[in-house]
Amino acid sequence: MIRPGTLFFDLHIHASQVAQEGLLALGVLRGDPAEGAASPTEQRHGRPRRRARGQAGGHHAGDDGRHGAGHGRRRVGAPAVQGYLKKNMIVTVEPGVYFCREYIEGYFLSNPRHARFINKAVLEKYYRVGGVRIEDDILVTDDGYENLSTGAPKGEELLRVINGKA
């Protein structure tokens, strides 16, 4: 998916779909995502718009990396920050899933359109986790990408480092 010509926003959409599939597998979400209300994105004016995730799936790297290649601060999905990947660009791929009680209860559980897709009993077990976000730095190459973060600890190894047991 990461190669020259890919729309940067498509990386976010893909990360959102993978996160949604994981939340369905865990039982946090339920129902048919095709119905739309459980989807991480929705159509707005014919364009996908992020929803259900408080963070984007990544950003450009460099002097103005968090502003989408220097176009100023805009919401994810705004046409000015979408852009297409080009050879030698470095982007981050850092999807995150967060279990923020105030946000989830205030926005999702208080709205029947969303609440029907959330299993509150299962969700309750994940609030103490808080969330997870793992970043990879990716170089766009001629015909694909190179992961520049392959040596960074992840998963169980990262937990050992964090807990001082590495």
pLDDT at res. 139:
94
CA atoms of 17 and 13, how far apart (whole Å) = 6
Name which residue leads in pLDDT, 38 or 158: 158
Whole-number pLDDT of residue 82: 62
Q: Taking the CA atoms of the chain, what radius of gyration do you get in angstroms? A: 17
Q: Give CA–CA dist 80/12, Å, rounded.
A: 15
Q: Is 50 exceeded by the pLDDT of residue 38?
A: no
Instruction: Specify the CATH number for 8-162; select among 1.10.10.10, 3.40.50.740, 3.40.109.10, 3.90.230.10.
Output: 3.90.230.10
Contacts of 25 (CB under 8 A, 6+ apart): none
Q: Where are the domains of the chain?
A: 8-162
> What pLDDT is stored for residue 71 in this prediction?
43
